[in-house]
Each structure stands twice: as structure tokens, then as C-alpha cells.
Amino acid sequence: MNYRIEHDSMGEMKVPADALWGAQTERSHENFKIGIGLETMPREIIHAFGILKKAAARANHQLKPEKMTLEKLAAIEQACDEVISGTLMKHFPLVVWQTGSGTQSNMNANEVIANRANQIACKDEEADLEKIPRLCHPNDDINMSQSSNDTYPTAMHIAAVLEMEDTLLPAVQRLVDTFLHLEAENKDAVKSGRTHLQDAVPISFSQEISGWRASLEKDMELIRLSGGPLKALALGGTAVGTGLNAPEGFDVLVAEEVSTLTGKPFVTASNKFHALTSKDELVFAHGALKALAADMMKIANDIRWLASGPRDGLGEITIPANEPGSSIMPGKVNPTQCEQVTMVAVQVMGNDAAIGFAASQGNFELNVFMPVMAYNFLQSVRLLAQSITSFTDNCAVGIKADRKKMHHNLYNSLMLVTALNPYIGYENAAKTAHLAFEENISLKEACVKLGFLNADRFDEVFHPENMI
């Protein structure tokens, strides 16, 4: 491999000749060989860094045009666009397990954007970085008016908002729409309700589905609500929240530029000391993700219970048979999409614990657990979005009610005796249910045998389909 020599404040470093990163990135790359190839900084964070560095360059051009010249701005903007598009991802090799402020990832962005901007400025897309003029400096130009301490939390907030609103919410909405379609299909399908895993009074299948759908709609509402506080950005607080080395008005202007680039209403944080050290907004937002995970766990479990069997379980619905379910039992098919949802839910709940612990570790003017928070938060969003999409496409759209089995289970339920309460009273209804169970006879036979109603009167008042 060919190398070039880069330097930083600690001296010279050998860097791969074709890498856009510089000395500080290389030091981190060599010093933190933890989770290599598996736990690199999330691409959503890199995307957000491209946005914030472009916004910062624009704001600096307006406030410091003598330093952020039009020539520099044009080159930096193009380089940032390439970071945003993902075409430069191979130049961001650093892992999550680094400094807790994300300093090395901020410098990784600074170095890549500076070197790429220099190539762009010299009109040579693949120019030798050792030989071209250095128009842009990583610290002096790309990091102008910033610190790692305010850029990394800003990148976290930008990434969280974009992924929740543009990736996760549309995935949830598709499942909501699927359930709405199933509700319309099953308005006249009456089945046994269940509480405590025991038979309960009747419910229509559409009513049961509506509970799933309404839970998801509430989760979407909570996610949107939690996105509000995340739209406050730390950028402009610099090292400790005082805004040292940032020009007056930079914080407001850069938030406006981020809003323009993303189409989201970001604002500058009203208190930068809070923005740098407290991660309560991220904890709050992940709580909404955990609520969604909890509801998805419940929905997936309901569906696999209802589809259990096919002959010896509840068997009230069928779901798509996607793959063989056993290496030893021919013909067995398992509710695999339900199972992937429940595993994702468990992972999200674990991520929530990690985020809560990390957020509690702010010391004085900075929280130094930010990369692990970003990693876990974005993993939760990504897993939920992909899991829900897979569940919708490979399971929910194919749910079919087995009306014959629903009818059998409904009329075999002893809890239909509840319909007799107004006519024979609670205690007599309980006696009827117990006798039917003990002698394995119908409710009608038990009620007539006990003398509470005659057969004709029983038929007159006993209509389970009216109990929903």
C-alpha cells in the first residue's frame, strides 16, 4: 500500500495515499481497534455531519466572508454534498468505541471535507493530496466557529429527527394502512375475546385489529411529539457552551441553514450549557421508540397466538407460510415474522437501558457517552423501520380470518354466559358456567337443567353476536 505523510499538532502520521482522511483520523483508526468493520460510526451520523458542515460554511461565509471566501464555500459545499449523498462513506472508518465526545469523528469529517474540497478547488477530481494547494484547512475552515463538543450532539439530533420522521414513521404508517384494510374486511367476523389468556366475552375481529392499529397511531403521535425537543441544536455553543470563537449570531444562522438543507424546523438551543451536557431529549425520544417496540411485541404475540396450530392451537387466523419451519418435522411452518419483531423489540428495550445509563453520565460541561448513545438510538430506529416493513410485507398483508374456527371457539366459550346476567343474575350465571364445564355440556343445557330458563326463553335472549 502507498502512503502519504500528514501531520497534526502531535506530529506526522502515515496515511493511505488514496484516503481522504488525515492524521487525527488515522490516530483514532490505529488506537481504537474495537468492533472494526461491525460497529463503525453510523452512516446516519456521517450524513448529518455533511449537513451541519455545509450549514456552518454557509453561516461563516455570511458572518466571516474574509475567512470563508466564496471560493472556499463553493468547494466545501460540493464536498459536503458528496458526504451527504454517501459517496464518500469509505473515508469514514472510525468505530463507535472512541472518545466519548465524538471528537475523532468530527475531525474525520473535517479532514475528509477539507481534502475533498482541495481536490475540487484544483479542478482535479483525483489529485495527489500531497501535491495540490491546500485551500481549506480541517480546523481553520471546516471546523470554523465550531467544536467537537457542539457538532457531535448536533449531528445526533439531526440524524435522529431525519431517521424518525423520514424512515420510521412511513414504515409504521404502512402497517397502520394494512390494519385499516383488514378491519374493513372483518367487520362481521365475531370471535371470542380473551383476557388473562382465558376466554372472555365476544369481540369482532375488526375491533381487535383496531386496537393494534390505534396503538400504532398513538406511537406515531408520541414519536412526532418527541421529535420537537430534538430540533434544538447545540451548534454555536463550541467547547463548553459559551460560544467561544463563534461570531455573534452564528448559532441562529447555522440552525436556519440546517433547516433549509433538511426541510425540518431546527432552531438553536436556548441554553447551550444544557445542550452540551444533558441528553434528556434523546432519552425522551427513545422512550417513544421503546413504546413502539412494546406495542409491536404485543401485536406480534397476538398474531402468533391467533395463528397457532394449525390444528392444535387457537387457529383463528392464518398467516403467510414463508419458509419451512423445521429440519426434522416435515410440513411445519413457523410464525417467523412475528418472531423477528419480538427479537427487535427486545433489542430496542436493551438499547433504551444503554441510552438511559449513558445520558446519566454527563460531567460538568460535557457528556462523554455520545457515540454509544447515537449508535444505540439509530440502531433502534433502523431496526424498527426495517422490522415493521418486513412484518407488513411478509405477514400482515396476508392475514386471513378462519371464520369457521372463530365461530366454533366463540360458541364453545363459557363466558358467553355473561349474556344471561340480566335475566338470571350473576350468581346463577356462574352456576350455569360451572355446570357446563364440569359436565362438558352446552350453556343452554346447563341453564335448562338448573331450571333458570326454559329452552325457548334461552334461545330468545342468547345472541352472542349482539354482545360486541
Active site residues: 196, 326
Task: Please give the Cα distance from 319 to 174 (Å, whole number).
Answer: 18
328 Cβ neighbours under 8 A, 6+ residues apart: none
Q: What three-state secondary structure class fits 124?
A: coil
211: cell is 386496537
Q: What distance lies between CA 18 and its chain's CA centroid?
A: 35
**Residue 204 phi, psi (nearest 5):** -80, 150
Burial degree of 404 (CB within 10 A; 0-12, 13-18, 19+): exposed
* Helices 103-121 + 23-31 axis angle, to 10: 140
| CA proximity to 375, closest of 44, 70, 91 | 44
Neighbours of 134 (CB within 10 A): 14
**C-beta of residue 115 within 8 angstroms of C-beta of residue 20:** yes
C-alpha neighbours within 13 Å on the C-beta side of residue 311: 2
- Rounded-to-integer distance, Cα 11 and Cα 27, Å: 11
Q: Which residue has the cell 480541517?
A: 138
Helices (H) and strands (E) in the chain, counts: 17, 10
Give CA–CA dist 19/3, Å, rounded. 9
Q: Cis omega before residue 464 (within 30°)?
A: no
What is the dihedral sign for C-alpha 58, 64, 65, 66?
negative
Name beta bridge partners: 203.
191
User: Contact at 8 Å (CB) between 467 and 201?
Assistant: yes
**Under 8 Å between Cβ of 374 and 157:** no
**Nearest CA among 151, 155, 133 for reference residue 142:** 151
Residue in the block written with cell 423445521 = 326
